[in-house]
Amino acid sequence: MEFRTPRGTQDRLPEQQPSWGFVLGAFWDRFERAGFGRLDTPLFEDSALFVRAVGEESDIASKETYNFADKSGDSLTLRPEGTAPVVRAYLQHGMASRPQPQRLAYFAPLFRYDRPQAGRLRQHHQIGAEILGEQDPHADVELISQIWWLLTQDLGLRDLTLQLNSIGRSDDRARYLKALLDFLEPVRSDLSIESQRRLSTNPLRILDSKDQRDRNVCESAPRTLDFLGEESESHFAAVKDGLAGLGIDAVLNSALVRGLDYYTDTVFEIWPADSRGQSTVAGGGRYDLLAQQLGGPPTAGIGFGCGVERVLLNLEAQGRLPAAESAIDAYIAPLSGAARPAALVAARDLRGTGMRVVVGYAAGSPRSHLRKANALGARCAVILGDAELASDSASVRDLVAGKQETVARDRLVACVQRATGGGGRLNPDKRATTNPVESG
C-alpha cells in the first residue's frame, strides 16, 4: 500500500518554502510595524466555541467542521476559522484590562471538510489580524488599509478590488431580514434547493450563495444599505471617507454579507479581477457582539482572514513569486575518508559566519562532487583531498565564475565569503557550468 496525503491536504516541499516565506515575511513585517502582537491558539477547541460563534445553521458548523471526542468524552473541533479562538483568548487571558485596543495577528492552519479545489483545501493556511476593544470606524479603516497594502504594495498583486458593505446592527438586520423574506418567498421555486432550506434557517446567507440561480434572484433583492440605522449609517460613512482619504477605492456591494453569523456593520472582501467572489483572497468585518456570544463583556472588534494558498496562486498567475534561489552557499567535498573530519571542522567554521553549508560524505571524484554541488545550487565548492590535507589547505571553486584557487586552511572562511559575496542567495540559473579542475 502506498500512503499519500489525505484528500484536500498538501505537503509543503523545501523548494516551496521561499514563496511562503515571502508572503509570511511581508505579513509579519507590515503588521508588527502597525503594533500587532503575534498570537498562537490551539489547533483544536471546544466544539461549542465555534457553534456559538459562527451559528448552528452556518455551513461551517453544520457541514464543514472536523469534530471528534477525546478519551474523556469532550467534544473538540479542529479550528475551522481564526476569529473565534482569538476572541476566546482575549477573554480568557483578561486582555480587556490591558491598554485598548488590543491588536493581535496570527498565522494558522484551518480545517474544513469541503470539496477540494484550487486555493480551497481541507487543510489550508490563513494569516489574519484582529483589533479588539475599539468601536471607532477608523479602526475599520486601519485594518482594511493594512491588508490592502500588504497585498497590493508589499506583495505586488495587481487587479484586485475591495468590495465593501455594511449589514448594520441587530435592529437594522431584523428590519432587513423581514424585507428580504418578503422578497424571496414569492420566488422560492427559483432558488437552489440549499437556499430554499436557508429561507427558514439563515436567509441572509442566500445573498452569499455561489449558485447562479440564487445570484440571478438576488440581483434585485433589497439592499442592506437601505435599512441602516443612524449609528450604522454614520459608522459606514466614516469608513468610506477614511478609505478614500488613504487613496483606497472601494466598490459598494450590497450583496456582500460574509459567511459567518457574528458580523455586524462593516464587512469587506478583496477579490481578484473578474472573480465575482468565487475566489476571495481576503475578507473580514466588524463583530461587536461576538465577545458577548462567547460569555464575555461587550467588546467591539474587527478582523480579517487571508488565505495564503490563494495569495500564492494569484502571485504565481501574475508572475510575482520570488525567483528560485540557492538553498546553500557552500558544498564541502571530502575526497577520502581521512578528509571527512576536516570537512566537518570547515563546515562548523563557515556556518558560524551565517553561511549555509552542506558536507558531501559519499566517496567520489572531484567531478562527481562538483556535479552534486551544482545540483544543490551551491555558489562554491570546498575540495579537501589528500594534497590539501598534507599542505593544510583547501581548494575553493567559485561555481558562478568557474574559477578555482587553493588557500591556506586559516584563510578558508575569508575566501568562501569572497566567493559567495559574504553568503546569501543566488538564482541557480546564474551558476557557471565550466569543467571542474581536478584536485589531489
The most distant pair of C-alpha atoms in the chain lies apart, rounded to whole Å, by 94
Average pLDDT value over all residues in the chain = 91
Strand, helix or coil for residue 263 = coil
Are residues 370 and 403 located together in one domain of the fold?
Answer: yes
Comparing 218 with 233, the larger pLDDT belongs to 233
> Is residue 204 assigned to a domain?
no
Grid coordinates belonging to 264: 455586524
Are residues 358 and 269 located together in one domain of the fold?
Answer: no
Q: Tell me the pLDDT band of 423, cut-offs 50, 70 and 90.
A: low
> Is residue 310 assigned to a domain?
yes
Domain boundary among 317, 350, 376: 317
Are residues 145 and 80 located together in one domain of the fold?
Answer: yes
> Is residue 2 assigned to a domain?
no
> Is residue 209 assigned to a domain?
no
Are residues 410 and 272 located together in one domain of the fold?
Answer: no
pLDDT at 299: 97
Are residues 239 and 362 located together in one domain of the fold?
Answer: no
> Is residue 185 assigned to a domain?
no
Comparing 260 with 262, the larger pLDDT belongs to 262
pLDDT digits (tens, 9 = 90+) for 166-182: 999 989 988 998 999 99
pLDDT at 322: 86
Q: What is the mean pLDDT of residues 324-334?
A: 88
Are residues 346 and 421 located together in one domain of the fold?
Answer: yes
Strand, helix or coil for residue 26 = helix
Q: Tell me the pLDDT band of 255, cut-offs 50, 70 and 90.
A: confident
Strand, helix or coil for residue 422 = coil
State yes or no: pLDDT of 163 exceeds 70: yes
pLDDT at 432: 40
Assign residue 377 the CATH number of its domain. 3.40.50.800
Distance CA 20, CA 309 (A): 9
State the DSSP code for 410: G
Are residues 87 and 118 located together in one domain of the fold?
Answer: yes
Dihedral-angle region of residue 123 (phi above 0 means left; psi in -120 to 50 means alpha; beta otherwise): beta
pLDDT at 173: 87
pLDDT at 124: 96
Are residues 60 and 32 located together in one domain of the fold?
Answer: yes
Distance CA 74, CA 54 (A): 20
Distance CA 179, CA 223 (A): 9
pLDDT at 259: 63
Assign residue 30 the CATH number of its domain. 3.30.930.10
> Is residue 213 assigned to a domain?
no
Amino acid, res. 107: F
State yes or no: pLDDT of 85 exceeds 70: yes
- Cβ distance 46 to 74 under 8 Å? yes
Are residues 254 and 400 located together in one domain of the fold?
Answer: no
pLDDT at 257: 85
Tell me the range of 159-168, 219-228, 416-425 where mean pLDDT is highest. Answer: 159-168
Stretch (H or E) spanning 142: helix 137-149
Distance CA 4, CA 22 (A): 28
pTM: 0.88
State yes or no: pLDDT of 278 exceeds 70: no
Domain boundary among 294, 317, 340: 317
Are residues 369 and 244 located together in one domain of the fold?
Answer: no
Domain boundary among 274, 295, 317: 317
State the DSSP code for 103: E
Comparing 361 with 58, the larger pLDDT belongs to 361
Q: Tell me the pLDDT band of 275, cut-offs 50, 70 and 90.
A: low
Q: Tell me the pLDDT band of 260, cut-offs 50, 70 and 90.
A: low
Least confident residue range of 65-79, 95-109, 252-266: 252-266
Q: Tell me the pLDDT band of 277, cut-offs 50, 70 and 90.
A: low
pLDDT at 428: 39
Q: Which range marks the domain in which residue 80 is found?
A: 14-169+229-317
**Burial state string for 73-87 with b = 16 or more CB within 10 A and e = fewer than 16:** eeebbbbbbbbbbbb
Q: What is the mean pLDDT of residues 413-425?
A: 82
State yes or no: pLDDT of 192 exceeds 50: yes
pLDDT digits (tens, 9 = 90+) for 312-326: 999 999 999 988 777
> Is residue 272 assigned to a domain?
yes
Are residues 124 and 246 located together in one domain of the fold?
Answer: yes
- Cβ distance 188 to 196 under 8 Å? yes
> Is residue 5 assigned to a domain?
no
Per the structure, how many domains does the chain have?
2
Are residues 131 and 45 located together in one domain of the fold?
Answer: yes
pLDDT at 326: 72
pLDDT digits (tens, 9 = 90+) for 2-37: 999 999 999 999 889 999 999 999 999 999 999 999
pLDDT at 436: 41
